[in-house]
Amino acid sequence: MGNRTPLFDKHEVLGAKIVDFGGWDMPINYGSQIEEHHAVRADAGVFDVSHMTTVELHGSEVPAFLDRLLANDFSRMTRPGQAMYSAMLREDGGVLDDLIVYDTGEPYLMVMNCATREKDLSWMNQVATDFDCTIRERDDLAILAVQGPNALEKVAATISDVQAKAMSELKLFQGTWTENWFIARTGYTGEKGVEVILPEAEAPAFWDRLLDADVKPIGLGARDTLRLEAGMNLYGSDMDETVTPFESNMANTVFLEGRDFIGADALRKRQSDRQLVGLVIPGKGVLRAHYTVYSNGKEVGEITSGAFSPTLQQGIALARVSETSSSMTVEIRGKHNEVTCVEPPFVRHGKQVYKEKPN
């Protein structure tokens, strides 16, 4: 038996198919992954993401610590509670993890992946020894993500008036503590929505109120196709310690100028022609991770994440390649299939948005 979130019993009652995910027993779907996907694009869905690692950063030198730890520049945050998405790098520029840190003031709040938890905490503790900064894990919190065009209205009806008012004042990518809950306008779907971090004991009742408000429960299967359509990377699939953020379509989260974060020197020196691009297959067929990608008949890389896009009704993928062209193919079961190279995202707010990548 793996770790269980405070909502495990709720998932079982709903008939969820439970799988192991990074040591956690998590719902992969509650019946139909595709129906769950469409529910988020068309209305609202709730994801139990309590398996993710939440930490607080205490001390007088947290901003200096983050400036050293992260490739993104925390000093650029201007609004209270603003969320910053960043890679955390090794000295050689390889990506240790991607995470979100909120500019809440002390203690600062950070959320990162569950599969990398031990590695992350040990790395951060090591870096923190040079600063007045203490890392405290908050494993007493649950996280529910509520996403979809109607998510904000439906959440507002299930929380207190004070919390609803606090939520209504948030801008995109901003979070705030309100009555012991942290509510942030962040997500992993490309839709409107919030991520709510709350005490474990209060999570089951909040979950029930959301379902009563006709918010659909969504498993990790749909979470993966939703994030892929939104062009968002999955750590461990689309990037890992062997690649840099520049090779992972994350250049817009790296601020090198005048900075001395871990990995900055390596990024300045490291030359690479590898890039993470989007692929779509015009015909029938599903693109999947590790399929080989060709450009002008030459092998140029492989798919890192692929799926059938329920919104676009076609195969889409992220692929790391050393070359792009107008003549690209993917090998599926021994046959070359033409694909189009595009710039992610594929879908935003339920609509196709990708454009063919200029060559």
Closest to 336 (Cα-Cα) out of 281, 278, 289: 281
322: which DSSP letter? S
Is 36 or 67 the residue whose CB approaches other proteins more closely?
36
Instruction: Please tell me the distance from the alpha carbon of residue 223 to that of residue 195, in angstroms, as a whole number.
Output: 13
The answer to whether 174 and 184 have CB atoms below 8 angstroms apart is yes
Q: Is 288 in the site for other proteins (CB under 8 A)?
A: yes
Contact range with other proteins by CB under 8 A, out of 86-94, 99-107, 128-136, 278-286: 278-286
Q: Is 189 in the site for other proteins (CB under 8 A)?
A: no
Minimum distance from residue 154 beta carbon to other proteins (Å): 25
Q: Is 12 in the site for other proteins (CB under 8 A)?
A: no
Minimum distance from residue 293 beta carbon to other proteins (Å): 17
Amino acid at 144: L
Contact range with other proteins by CB under 8 A, out of 32-40, 109-117, 196-204, 226-234: 32-40
Q: Is 305 in the site for other proteins (CB under 8 A)?
A: no
Contact range with other proteins by CB under 8 A, out of 31-39, 157-165, 187-195, 294-302: 31-39
233: burial class by Cβ within 10 Å (0-12, 13-18, 19+)? Answer: buried
Contact range with other proteins by CB under 8 A, out of 138-146, 272-280, 281-289, 323-331: 281-289
Q: Reduce the secondary structure of 151-195 to three states and give it as a string.
A: HHHHHHCCCCHHHHHHHHCCCCCEEEEECCEEEECCCCCCCCEEE
The answer to whether 319 and 328 have CB atoms below 8 angstroms apart is no
Is 254 or 319 the residue whose CB approaches other proteins more closely?
319
Minimum distance from residue 89 beta carbon to other proteins (Å): 32
The answer to whether 102 and 77 have CB atoms below 8 angstroms apart is no
The encoded tokens of residue 26 equal 């998590």
Q: Is 32 in the site for other proteins (CB under 8 A)?
A: yes
Binding residue for other proteins, selected from 18, 266, 286, 353, defined by CB under 8 A: 286
Binding residue for other proteins, selected from 171, 269, 298, 333, defined by CB under 8 A: 333
Binding residue for other proteins, selected from 18, 34, 251, 353, defined by CB under 8 A: 34
Q: Is 16 in the site for other proteins (CB under 8 A)?
A: no
The answer to whether 100 and 84 have CB atoms below 8 angstroms apart is yes
The encoded tokens of residue 34 equal 């595709």
The answer to whether 123 and 88 have CB atoms below 8 angstroms apart is yes
Q: Is 284 in the site for other proteins (CB under 8 A)?
A: yes
User: Residues interacting with other proteins, by CB under 8 A?
Assistant: 28-29, 32-34, 221, 225, 284-286, 288, 307-308, 333
